Amino acid sequence: MTEPIRLEDKQRAFAELRSIKAGFAAKGWFPATSGNLSVRVGGFDPESFTFAITSSGKDKSVETPEDFLLVNEKGLPTEATALKPSAETLIHSEIYRLTGAGAIFHVHTVFNNIVSELYWSKGHIPVDGVELIKGFNIWEEDAHIEIPILPNYAEIPRIAALVEGALQPKIPGIVLRKHGIYAWGANSFEAKRHLEAFEYLFEYVYRWNLLNPSSK
Ligand SMILES: CSCCC(=O)C(=O)COP(=O)(O)O
Ligand SMILES: [Zn+2]
């Protein structure tokens, strides 16, 4: 039996999401209502857990009392609400189930879209020796990493079904082709650091390719 979520845990999760949402909005990371954010709230059992997630279709650069709701591991609201969870909730559920993460953030940016297309045929975005790889806690000198890319199917369950096969043990993120990045971490602080590192690396890869068109 799953323990009911305590009001203070729910409020803490919503406050955390509110602050992350405002910070990402200030960076312009939620164009045209895109993006979604979640944090795990309770029930750390991989088979039954609860997380707070952004409601679907909202302007995420605006703060309202209807921005977040709680859902279970199947992505269904755990409390009576008129709010709809993010259309991409099932991807969050699958990432929580497989990684035990504490927070997952998804944004659409021009850089993540372009590099996903640039490296689509390889199935991953390679990055070599850039210092910010250390943002993933990879401290090896001249580290080489490969960030997985999944197809952007219209049906979210089809994408969710591919997450397990795409996960790279040291890489806390997955890119959807010409769609956006999912980055996660043990908590919001770590998931934010990971997302910022990914976005820095995507911009680096994009600019490197512009300057060195034959290097790919
Ligand atoms: C106009 S954004 C298209 C849907 C999407 O990719 C996204 O990230 C936002 O969907 P949500 O249901 O979470 O608002
Ligand atoms: Zn999206």
For the CA of 54, the nearest atom of ligand 1: 13
- Rounded to the nearest angstrom, the distance between the alpha carbon of 139 and the centre of ligand 1 is 34
Q: What is the mean pLDDT of residues 67-89?
A: 97
Q: Interface pTM (ipTM) of the complex?
A: 0.99
Backbone angles phi, psi at 95, to 5 degrees: -65, -45
Structure tokens at 116: 């996903």
DSSP 8-state class, residue 88: T
Q: What is the mean pLDDT of residues 210-214?
A: 92
Q: Number of C-alpha atoms within 13 angstroms, CB side, residue 179?
A: 19
DSSP 8-state class, residue 68: E
Q: Is 152 exposed, middle or buried (0-12, 13-18, 19+ CB in 10 A)?
A: middle
- Rounded to the nearest angstrom, the distance between the alpha carbon of 3 and the centre of ligand 1 is 30
Whole-structure pTM value: 0.97
Lowest mean pLDDT among 31-45, 112-126, 146-160, 165-179: 31-45
Structure tokens at 52: 């707070």
Residue for token pair 């999912």: 182
The best mutation among 36, 153, 181, 182 to test binding of ligand 1, ranked by most ligand atoms within 8 Å of the C-beta, falls on: 36
For residues 212 and 216, give the distance between their C-alpha atoms in angstroms, rounded to a whole number. 8
For residues 135 and 190, give the distance between their C-alpha atoms in angstroms, rounded to a whole number. 9
Over residues 33-75, the pLDDT tens digits come to 999 999 999 877 877 899 999 999 999 999 999 999 999 999 9
Over residues 27-37, the pLDDT tens digits come to 999 999 999 99
For residues 71 and 78, give the distance between their C-alpha atoms in angstroms, rounded to a whole number. 5
pLDDT of residue 1: 53
Side by side, which strands form the sheet with 68-72? 68-72, 48-54, 36-45, 103-107, 180-185, 173-176, 144-150, 124-128
DSSP 8-state class, residue 142: T
Contact 165, 172 (CB under 8 A): no
User: Domains in the chain, please, with CATH?
Assistant: 7-211 (3.40.225.10)
- Rounded to the nearest angstrom, the distance between the alpha carbon of 34 and the centre of ligand 2 is 6
The best mutation among 21, 29, 34, 84 to test binding of ligand 1, ranked by most ligand atoms within 8 Å of the C-beta, falls on: 34
For residues 203 and 81, give the distance between their C-alpha atoms in angstroms, rounded to a whole number. 39
Structure tokens at 78: 């755990």
